Amino acid sequence: MSPAALMGPTPLGQRVLGVLAWVVGAAVTIGLLIFGFFVGAVLLGLTAIGALIALARMRWRKPRTPRDPAIIEGEFVVVRRE
């Protein structure tokens, strides 16, 4: 026999608490799913806006001026001998 059958009928208070726990758990789960959906939608929207801004900056930026190929740019450090 199962242990539940040996204990007798379940009191009404435990049944109500069990149903209440299921309802609260389902409400929390649904709330988290809805919250996650809206957070994901906001992140996708911000990513799309950032991509459009980056595309616009790349497309309409000023063209680089051609430099003299004989000039080599760099950084130099002068070392003094003492």
Q: List the one residue out of 6, 27, 29, 4 whose CA is nearest residue 14.
A: 4
For position 8, what pLDDT does the model report? 67
Pairwise CA distance, residues 69 & 81, whole Å: 33
Output the 3-class SS for 39-55: HHHHHHHHHHHHHHHHH
> What distance in Å separates the CA atoms of residue 42 and residue 49, rounded to the nearest whole number?
11
pTM for the whole structure: 0.55
Query: Distance between CA 41 and CA 43 in Å, rounded?
Result: 5
Give pLDDT tens digits along the chain (82 positions).
Answer: 566 666 767 788 888 999 999 999 999 999 999 999 999 999 999 999 999 999 999 888 877 777 777 777 788 888 888 7
Burial (CB < 10 A; 0-12, 13-18, 19+), residue 62, is exposed
